[in-house]
Structure 1
């Protein structure tokens, strides 16, 4: 078990966004969460990672978390290399070997001296993803992780996701539109404040 969301409710004013959402993610699973814009995905994510408290219900995290938000958590004035060193300190990592492996796998090693503000949107997202994964957490929550990727990087992302799952990591991918459904173990639709499982996608 990596994550359990149970009967979570959240209301903003008179608008009920989540109305008893449930989600369980086991180790070694790749789970998709899909919903239209405004369905409450961002609220669900923020509650899942501890940024927002639910009005009712519980969230149980059974492992360390890696979170890749839709908006890149990068500083425009820092280079790619400086970002890795900064997060190395934050994660208390002894070395950056795994981080550089991710950079190479995602195909932006040539940008290591480039400031984040000068990167393309797709490359910023690659950096965003690498920062979320570099401490090798058992649970990953990824919000629109392949937004702006070219086809080659898109394929590399799924190779990486499959590798993580085979290593026992739990991966949650959240999007307004999920492609490549064959990669997922299960897909859950967020509708009217509840998550409805579509069953096994693989």
Structure 2
């Protein structure tokens, strides 16, 4: 890639991490120790790009994701966000006594979208992910797979420019897995970006790039 093309690509970055450090303190004084998790993590996500970030369990993937969305502060470095983010956490942040419909209404209000837009988006997501029959079912009565669909649907509700997914495959059956990739392909086609953090990547050809998180650093595969 020549210098002009590289400059253009960098200018279109919708999310960038710059020299991110993060460590946790373990144990009680006087044997307390510092355990480094992330060390100088830097990478960027471009418009219309699908990127996989792969690391073993305990490598700091979820810590990095929380820093990217602003839920956790880094010890050093910064995150540059120039687009609206949608976040699908590994552990769904849902309310067992609320129905799927009530979750969409609640999140729509939090996103600041009007009621009609929220209802239209909700219907489209029910159809795309195939769980409309559970619209009036409380979360506490849903299967793990349907909870995973709702978790993803809530991240997509406001049609974000950048979708950040932490271990999104958990609980997906084969049909849902294919529906998921159809949604990802549709987002790429409209110039939106997706970052998928996982401990494995099964279909590498679906990604534009795959990065590995090793020894606290991000390296291209």
TM-score range normalised by the length of the shorter chain: over 0.9
Verify: 1:128 aligned to 2:148, yes or no. Answer: no
> 5+ residue gaps in structure 1?
none
Query: 1:12 corresponds to which residue?
Result: 24
Query: Match of 1:83?
Result: 103
Deviation at 1:45? Answer: 0.7
SS of aligned partner of 1:23: strand
User: What SS class does the counterpart of residue 70 from structure 1 fall into?
Assistant: coil
Measured after TM superposition, the shift of residue 161 of structure 1 is 0.3
Shift of 1:99: 2.1
CA positional deviation for 1:6: 1.0
**Stretches of 4+ moved more than 6 A in 1?**
none
Number of the residue aligned with 1:104: 127
Equivalent position to 1:150, from 173, 192, 207: 173
**Superimposed CA distance per residue, residues 48-77 of structure 1 (whole angstroms, 9 cap, x where no aligned partner):** 111111111111001111000011121110
For 1:2, what is the secondary structure of its paired residue?
strand
Q: Which has the larger radius of gyration?
A: 2
**How many corresponding residue pairs?**
198
Partner deviation per Cα, 1:138-167 (whole Å, 9 max, x = no partner): 011001112111101100000100101111
Residue 172 (structure 1) aligns with:
195
Residue 193 (1) aligns with residue 201 (2) = no
Normalising by structure 1, report the TM-score: 0.96
What is the TM-score normalised by the length of structure 2? 0.87
- Matched residue SS, 2:163: strand
**Structure 2 unaligned regions, length at least 5:** 1-12, 26-33
Q: How does 1:54-65 map to 2 (within 5 A)?
A: 54-65=74-85
Give the RMSD, CA atoms, in angstroms: 0.9
The residue matched to 1:4 in structure 2 has which SS? strand
